[in-house]
Structure 1
Amino acid sequence: MEKQYEIKDLTANPGPLGLYGFAMTTVLLNIHNAGFFPVNSMIMGMGVFFGGGAQFIAGALEWKKGNTFGSIAFMAYGAFWLTLVFTWIAPLFGVEKPDGNAMGSYLAIWGLFTFVNFIQTLKGHLTGKLLFGSLTLLFFLLAAGNFCANSKIISFAGWIGIICGFLAFYEASAIMINTKYEKIVLPL
């Protein structure tokens, strides 16, 4: 009789890295959307390296762990941050800046993608539902604000985005703290 071997996965959970990358970049961008400061190099740097790069790495690590949802979500939203920053800097190199309809379409398609992810969270914990529900609302509000060239809608969306970002920050923190203490300290 052949002996069976089990390989135990001893790698760390990449979820908190991806969630923090999403959370912190989302909060900072949406403080801008709420009207507190213009888009600047701080937001772009966070978008490329933490929102984009760290999330993309977390998604690749989730893939290695066999987590399709985590892999697709982190890699896709990492790519979102990279494409968003590209749309801001491409006009410096002669590429036409997107108008309100183009930007609205871009944000609406991300809203549709996020809604599909939200549906998947309905089988999960409350924090995930709130995070993806608020993110879906954020994308559709930003799309509407761009389609209508309405700064009040965009500002309101910014406040939704700040809440969304803090939900992701809470989830990342809960995962890390609960794992470290080996009990539920912060409920999800």
Structure 2
Amino acid sequence: MIKNSPEAAALAAPAPQVERAAAPVADPGPLGLAAFAMTTMVLSCFNAHVIDARLTAVVLPLALFYGGICQLLAGMCEFKRGNTFGATAFSSYGAFWIAFWLFASHIEPRLPADLAHQAAGLFLLGWSIFTAYMAVAARAVNTATLVLFTALAITFVLLTVGAFSETSAVTVVGGWSGLLTAVIAWGMSFRGVRASTMVNH
């Protein structure tokens, strides 16, 4: 009978599934590093007293959009790539910059003037602790990442001490340490972009 013929069986059989190769995900590292570097550089210029403090508000939009949202997106991409360290770092520091924007623009102005420095110090202390253990973990990544996180940990500690003690000189040193950190991050970002463009060409 026709229904038992090989032709009928072939028609009734499910179509073979064709496996499609997953589209490659670009390395989000250079973007995350660039966003971190630029925002850190601008804020550090004020901490180091390189630029008049009355212009500090210029940091806020950069903190929200580039240092914050762009870096957070880089962190999400690192999750997809299976990079736990990169995902934790970029997502956390993206959240740091968004939190900084909110704190500086909406929270700090409402705090008692004589206690606001303690709130800033507590905020920075938490990030000092996080950065310190990320620096320890960075030993297993590569030397450049270890140097970056060590410099950043030193920066956070200096800014924390400066905030709690209200010692401007310590904050200034922290600002210069932040500028050094930004230079290191920019160098790593440039190396990543250059490596990618050389591979593609």
Is 1:87 the counterpart of 2:87? The answer is no
Provide the TM-score with structure 2 as the length reference.
0.83
1:103 to 114, 120, 124: 120
Is 1:117 the counterpart of 2:131? The answer is no
Question: Is residue 108–residue 116 contact of structure 2 (8 Å, CA) maintained in 1?
Answer: no
Per the alignment, residue 140 of structure 1 pairs with: 157
How far residue 8 of structure 1 moved from its aligned partner, in angstroms, is: 4.8
What percentage of residue pairs aligned between the two structures are identical?
30
Provide the TM-score with structure 1 as the length reference.
0.88
Is the partner of 2:35 in helix, strand or coil?
helix
CA–CA distance in structure 1, aligned partners of residues 143 and 35 of structure 2: 20
Question: Is residue 90–residue 96 contact of structure 1 (8 Å, CA) maintained in 2?
Answer: no
Runs of 5+ unmatched residues, structure 1: 183-188
1:76-124 CA distance string (max 9 Å, x none): 1011011111111114884656622221111111010001110111012
Runs of 5+ unmatched residues, structure 2: 1-16
CA–CA distance in structure 2, aligned partners of residues 93 and 139 of structure 1: 22
Is the partner of 2:27 in helix, strand or coil?
coil
Give 1 or 2 for the bigger CA radius of gyration: 2
1:20-65 CA distance string (max 9 Å, x none): 0000000110011000222533211110000001001101111111
Q: Mean alpha-carbon deviation: is it higher for 23-32 or for 120-129?
A: 120-129
CA–CA distance in structure 1, aligned partners of residues 143 and 20 of structure 2: 33
Per the alignment, residue 173 of structure 1 pairs with: 190
2:50 to 5, 19, 36: 36
Is the partner of 1:122 in helix, strand or coil?
helix
From the superposition, tell whether residues 116 and 7 of structure 1 become closer, same or farther in structure 2 (CA, over 3 Å).
farther
Per the alignment, residue 186 of structure 1 pairs with: none
CA–CA distance in structure 1, aligned partners of residues 46 and 126 of structure 2: 22
From the superposition, tell whether residues 91 and 123 of structure 1 become closer, same or farther in structure 2 (CA, over 3 Å).
closer
CA–CA distance in structure 1, aligned partners of residues 118 and 108 of structure 2: 20
From the superposition, tell whether residues 135 and 21 of structure 1 become closer, same or farther in structure 2 (CA, over 3 Å).
same
CA–CA distance in structure 1, aligned partners of residues 135 and 88 of structure 2: 13
Root mean square deviation, CA, Å: 2.3
Paired positions, count: 182
1:34-73 to structure 2, matched below 5 A, reads: 34-37=48-51, 38=53, 39-73=55-89
